Structure 1
């Protein structure tokens, strides 16, 4: 399951993180610019797609649910813009 993989990645970097799929990880203080790039690379490598520039919005990475939706859109070949 996509959301489980994303949660595992975040919790692997921040074992103390108690986050759910709809928690804002930016507001929780877990995201800095380096980790944001790591998230992008993790999603691209794990789910085998390139995130288009128009999808590099903070809102697509704010929650596990948003990242799961991003993966779903890219897997279906749907672009937003």
Structure 2
């Protein structure tokens, strides 16, 4: 498991109030609401110094923690990163 995946598991667990696996479909499990999604996007942007917008906001990028980690890795590679606060 990558560091990003581990960190995102902790974020998602805190937001949804229960432990999940990296491949848990958060929408199918009824754990992801629009408010939770927005909070996770905000935390991901802040933590990893990336901007999530446009096509990146596709639900498929937030369906699982693995998908979120892949999005973070992809955006960091394409757009570069800044130091996390």
Per the TM superposition, whether the score is higher than 0.5 is: yes
Structure 1 segment 1-81 matched on structure 2, within 5 A: 1-15=3-17, 17-77=18-78
| Aligned residue-pair number | 77
Task: Flag structure 2 segments of 5+ consecutive residues without an equivalent.
Answer: 80-85
TM-score relative to the length of structure 1: 0.87
RMSD between superposed Cα atoms in Å: 1.3
Task: Flag structure 1 segments of 5+ consecutive residues without an equivalent.
Answer: none
Divergent runs of 4+, >6 A = none
TM-score relative to the length of structure 2: 0.83
Q: Distance in 1 between matches of 2:19 and 2:62?
A: 17
Select the structure that is richer in helix.
Answer: 2
